Amino acid sequence: MNNPHSAACISHEAVTAAVYATPSPLVQDAVSSTTTFRQLFDATSSTFTYLLGDDSSKTAIIIDPVLDQVERDLQIVEELGLTLRYALNTHCHADHVTGSGEIKKRCPLTKSAISEASGCKADILLHDGDEVHFGGNILHVLATPGHTNGCMSYYTESLGGMIFTGDTLLIRGCGRTDFQEGNARKLHRSVHRKLFTLPASTKVYPAHDYKGHACSTIGEEMAFNPRLRLHEDAFKKLMDDLHLPYPKMMDLAVPANTQCGS
């Protein structure tokens, strides 16, 4: 099924208005039964995978699974008695192969999802303002292009407010913008116009960390992120001058991830 509106979404306008207002009315009125949250790490690619479970319905979602860690991830899902409904990707990763396809093979009830703008195949193609429901919980989909054109961040009011930023916003850093339609100005605008309008207490969970961090908050990143504190022109110059080597697995990962969980 390629239509997200039947499977995962309602009321785009209401969500968009609520998510961008500060403080969000949804944050104040949130009713949620998410009590299971796991941050998992793949040391080879320095990738974080997130598992969120709804304790009432025992349904769960996984964000940015890594192929090499599917065994580990599904063991936790099983041990906690959860049923995976969605395997979401924040974008088409260039440094590792997504676990979505393998998870779908082993858990037939799980649907893969990624943004339509990514150009990747998946069961559900997401758009800005969509919602992903699991049990009593809602994940709000925010388009945050810049690292790639199809980058999405996922926001939930559960557990005091969490944003899964993919490679858009890293802790005290951000995703590079020198390939896969990367665009420094777009990334700066995504962060300042969307992520930095969330409540300051919102916890930030990125897709990667290379320095030993695990979590931050929107308020902390607004104050201390050395890249995103810069104005747009200075940010673009900094990003244009990074000259980082390409990810080792890029030539394998991008074609594989374009097929995603199809």
Ligand X SMILES: N[C@@H](CCC(=O)N[C@@H](CSS)C(=O)NCC(=O)O)C(=O)O
- Using the rule CB under 6 A, which residue among 119, 136, 199, 247 binds ligand X? 247
Neighbours of 127 (CB within 10 A): 15
> What stretches of the chain adopt beta strand conformation (E)?
34-42, 47-54, 59-63, 83-88, 111-115, 124-126, 131-134, 137-143, 152-156, 162-166, 169-170, 173-174, 203-206, 216-217
Of 33 and 259, nearer to ligand X (C-beta) is 259
Examine residue 94 and tell whether it contacts ligand X (CB under 6 A). yes
Examine residue 184 and tell whether it contacts ligand X (CB under 6 A). no
Q: Give the CA angle between residues 36, 140, 67 to the nearest 5°.
A: 60
Whole-angstrom CA distances from 246 to 31, 54, 126, 167 are: 43, 38, 27, 15
- Smallest separation, CB 64 to ligand X (Å): 11
- Smallest separation, CB 70 to ligand X (Å): 19
Pick the piece of the chain touching ligand X (CB under 6 A) from 12-20, 114-122, 153-161, 240-248: 240-248
- What are phi and psi for residue 83, nearest 5 degrees? -115, 120
Rounded CA-CA distance 149/182 in Å is 7
Rounded CA-CA distance 72/87 in Å is 15
Examine residue 237 and tell whether it contacts ligand X (CB under 6 A). no
Contact between 160 and 85 under an 8 Å Cβ cutoff? The reply is no
- What are phi and psi for residue 20, nearest 5 degrees? -85, -15
- Smallest separation, CB 253 to ligand X (Å): 8
- Smallest separation, CB 172 to ligand X (Å): 10
Of 150 and 173, nearer to ligand X (C-beta) is 173
Of 43 and 244, nearer to ligand X (C-beta) is 244
Examine residue 136 and tell whether it contacts ligand X (CB under 6 A). no
Examine residue 208 and tell whether it contacts ligand X (CB under 6 A). yes
Of 77 and 97, nearer to ligand X (C-beta) is 97
DSSP symbols for 208-237? B-SSS---EEHHHHHHH-TTTTS-HHHHHH
Examine residue 106 and tell whether it contacts ligand X (CB under 6 A). no
Q: What would the x/- binding string for ligand X be over residues 12 to 51, using CB under 6 A?
A: ---------------------------------x------
Of 24 and 183, nearer to ligand X (C-beta) is 183
Of 99 and 173, nearer to ligand X (C-beta) is 173
Of 230 and 249, nearer to ligand X (C-beta) is 249
Neighbours of 55 (CB within 10 A): 18
Contact between 45 and 95 under an 8 Å Cβ cutoff? The reply is yes
Q: Which residues bind ligand X (CB under 6 A)?
A: 45, 94-95, 167, 173, 175-176, 208, 244, 247-249
